[in-house]
Amino acid sequence: MTARVLDGAATARAIREELRPRVAALGARRLRPGLGVLLVGDDPASAVYVRSKTRAGDELGLFHETVRLPATASTAEVAAVVEGFNARPEIHGILVQTPLPSTVDTARVLRLVDPAKDVDGFHPENVGLLVQKRPRFVACTPAGIMELLAREGVVLSGRRAVVLGRSDIVGKPMALLLMHADATVTVAHSKTPDLAAVTREADVLVAAVGRAGLVRAEYVKAGAVVIDVGMNRVADAAAAAELGPDRGEEFTRKGYLLVGDVHAPSVRERAGALTPVPGGVGPLTIAMLMSNTVSAAEAAAGSSRAGG
């Protein structure tokens, strides 16, 4: 058995195409969805993510503005940018690219984002609404995974789901979304005893721990759906060779590999379905950021119309 590939990139394209008529309808009302982006410091991965997100915005016809601050920026300086975005009616969504430098109070900055513009779904108000199953904005990666599962016909009601990882960005909201879909959910993490025994119970396994190749065949129930959220840079030739000859050739060309938390060569022989890395969850995250921004603009347009 070889796992079916869950093509996140194709699903992301479909989501973006479905957004086009909504953007056009807003345009007919002379309203262009706007995204304000804040990038602090010079982290290369963050810069790549921001470029990918703004490029997706360009393709959909969204307005976007990126403010870059040095890594030495204070919490007050970062907060001032967020408050500026809050005050501007042409900015409907705010993206604070994380991680922020350690000298910045990240929790305070995220609390300052207007909840109605919190398209990343990190504000405590939006987290609370998700807990109550009344979501306004949901963190983009878990939201994208739910879209993928639904469009791929993966049944969640009554199934066992294990989320490997407990971050605020992926693990916790992912567990809530799966629970709201009537799955029986277990959250596992680095302190879970006999981790493989826990993950083997899963009909649906979401791996989001940030450890390259941690999840191997012995962690996976036969026929399970495995969602690999990890994005890890491997620069060791021996580790790259373990990923198979195709990835070995890629390593020779680039000098590194981007790999997930799942050891794909072993897991694809046991799982029923598996997301690739790259090309799986990453494109979905960006698509859902666009979706949330369009939704924020629609909400703003509705509020404006109600007020007028």
Of 114, 120, 203, 261, the active-site residue reads 120
Three-state SS at 234? strand
**The one-letter amino acid at 3:** A
pLDDT at 252: 81
pLDDT at 304: 53
Helix runs in 113-215, H state only: 124-131, 140-151, 171-180, 195-199
The tens place of each residue's pLDDT in the chain, 308 residues long, gives 799 999 999 999 999 999 999 999 999 999 999 999 999 998 888 888 899 999 999 999 999 999 999 999 999 999 999 999 999 999 999 999 999 999 999 999 999 999 999 999 999 999 999 999 999 999 999 999 999 999 999 999 999 999 999 999 999 999 999 999 999 999 999 899 999 999 999 999 999 999 999 999 999 999 999 999 998 888 888 877 777 677 777 888 888 888 899 999 999 999 999 999 989 999 999 999 999 999 999 999 986 554 33
Annotated catalytic, 53?
yes
Of 97, 114, 118, 261, the active-site residue reads 97
Q: Among 87, 150, 143, which Cα is nearest to 289's?
A: 143
pLDDT at 308: 38
Domains of the chain: 30-117 (3.40.50.10860), 140-280 (3.40.50.720)
| Residues 31-51 as b or e (16 or more Cβ within 10 Å = b) | bebbbbbbbbbebeebeebbe
The Cβ of residue 274 has, within 10 Å, a number of other Cβ atoms equal to 25
Helix runs in 32-105, H state only: 44-60, 75-87
pLDDT at 161: 98
Annotated catalytic, 97?
yes
pLDDT at 242: 77
**The one-letter amino acid at 9:** A
pLDDT at 91: 98
Annotated catalytic, 120?
yes
